[in-house]
Amino acid sequence: MLAIVGATVVELEPARVLRADVVVEGDRIVQVGGDVADGVTKVFAGGCVVLPAFAVGHTHLYSALACGMPPPRLSPTSFLEILERVWWRLDKALDDETVHVSALVGAVAAARMGAAFVVDHHASPNAIDGSLDRIASALDIVGVRGALCYETSDRDGPERRDAGLRENERFLARRQSGETHHGALVGAHAPFTLEDGTLDALKDLARRSGAGLHVHVAEDETDGADAQKRGQDLAARLERLGADRPGSIVAHAVHLPGPSIDALTRAGAWVVTNARSNMNNAVGLSRAAGPRVALGTDGIGADMIAEAQAHFFRHAEAKDGLAGLAVARLAASQALARLLGGDARRGAVPAEERAPRVAPGERADLAILAYDPATPLTEANLAGHVLFGWSSALVRDTMVGGRFVLRDRVIQTLDEAALLAKARVLAKRLWERMDANP
């Protein structure tokens, strides 16, 4: 049992700000406010805010060794060429070791940014079998939780497509048997890389396992154009895939029509927007509206504060009326993690729509930010502080399930300096393999 004392408790949605000590026992919060009993270990957090830890609603941990890599020999001129000349070359260069180390580096980055949960979408066509176990092991070592899947695709032929399906099914079975505490989804790449028979196989696996799908959709206009070439529309292909399932994740949806988005979210699927990645790839701005719209990074690190701020500024510039939803969508990522992690089943209140709270009975996934502003911090102006005052550099501590993974800005669960030294060696080898197979 320990108590976080002297901090200001903050919840994002609905906004809540109060001064209270927080007592944690095991993996749960057991007391908020009141006197702290004698003998309880105290963690002093004066001049700080404590809030439910952030969650990354969509990411690619395998990109953790990409920062600073050399550009492709031929500069991409379209989004498809970015995939072909950069990301598909990277995922093909991954081996078992770089899959594991990438996940370690990505999980450490998440903890440093105050995130306790990552929703990962993985691809390593030359190291498929067991890849999700290697990622799960890395998350376990660092102490961060996640929801994992393998990116099934036809782009590398039927053998790798079938291996991707098997990897998803194998990890789903591990989740159902309790062999892993991480969430599991049925992973799929964008529809333009999926044949109709593969859509059927993915839908069948989701139905048999009871899991949601995790799929890229309409990041640019390629999915829609491909559907037309097949004599269909994209909505029909998504229906064949069965993306309209509770707990499914449709990433991006930049060029997905509003009626299709509405149908997905009404059915219980989630749309996860990734403003910084979409700007980087110049694919446009997602206009997804309504419930179950969350934020992710699409592999650009794990900084959810920066993602919320980018969402706000980009939509403010576009004048589309969605800028004011930035903090609510940051909280929606927390709610999505709560659902995928299995915590939404606890208690009497349906929780798939509700972000976690700092309250008795809630899982003790908490972030502590060294934030002591010069202006009043209230429920009425909380969004202004998040968007104009907060920074991931302020994250002092990250607690996952009652255990400090980051304490006083130091990772507690592994030797971070040794990991980074190893990662730099492996990154160089990874880039060399990419360059040898342009």
Q: Which domains does the chain have, with CATH numbers?
A: 2-53+356-411 (2.30.40.10), 54-344 (3.20.20.140)
Tell me, what amino acid is at 236? A
Q: How far apart are CA 205 and CA 210, in angstroms?
A: 8
Q: Beta partners for 131?
A: none
* pLDDT surpassing 50 at residue 411: yes
Mean pLDDT of the chain: 96
Q: Which structure tokens are listed for 40?
A: 């309880």
Residue 274, Cβ density class (10 Å: 0-12 exposed, 13-18 middle, ≥19 buried): buried
CA atoms within 13 A on the CB side of 12: 28
pLDDT at residue 348 above 90? no
> What are the tens digits of pLDDT across the range 202-232?
999 999 999 999 999 999 999 999 999 999 9
CA gap 215, 243 in Å, rounded:
8
Helices 96-112, 416-436: crossing angle, 10 deg rounding: 130
Task: Give the tokens for residue 303.
Answer: 């900084």
Among residues 272, 305, 284, which one has the least CA distance to residue 112? 305
A 10 A CB-CB count for 74 gives 10
Cα–Cα distances (Å) from 170 to 206, 249, 258, 388, in that order, read: 13, 20, 35, 44
What integer is the mean pLDDT of 43-72? 97
116 and 400 in contact (C-beta within 8 Å)? yes
Distance of CA 71 to the CA centre of its chain: 26
Determine the distance from the C-alpha atom of residue 199 to the mean position of all C-alpha atoms in its chain, rounded to a whole number.
24
Q: What distance in Å separates the CA atoms of residue 410 and residue 401, rounded to the nearest whole number?
A: 18
Q: Which pLDDT value is given to residue 345? A: 46
Q: Which SS3 state, helix, strand or coil, does residue 22 take?
A: strand
Mean pLDDT of 248-268: 96
pLDDT for residue 290: 84
pLDDT surpasses 90 at 349: no
Q: How many CB atoms lie within 10 A of CB 261?
A: 23
Which pair of structure tokens corresponds to residue 99? 């899959």
pLDDT of amino acid 351: 45
Instruction: Please give the pLDDT value at position 344.
Output: 58
Q: What is the pLDDT of residue 168?
A: 98
Q: Mean pLDDT, to the nearest integer, of 26-49?
A: 97
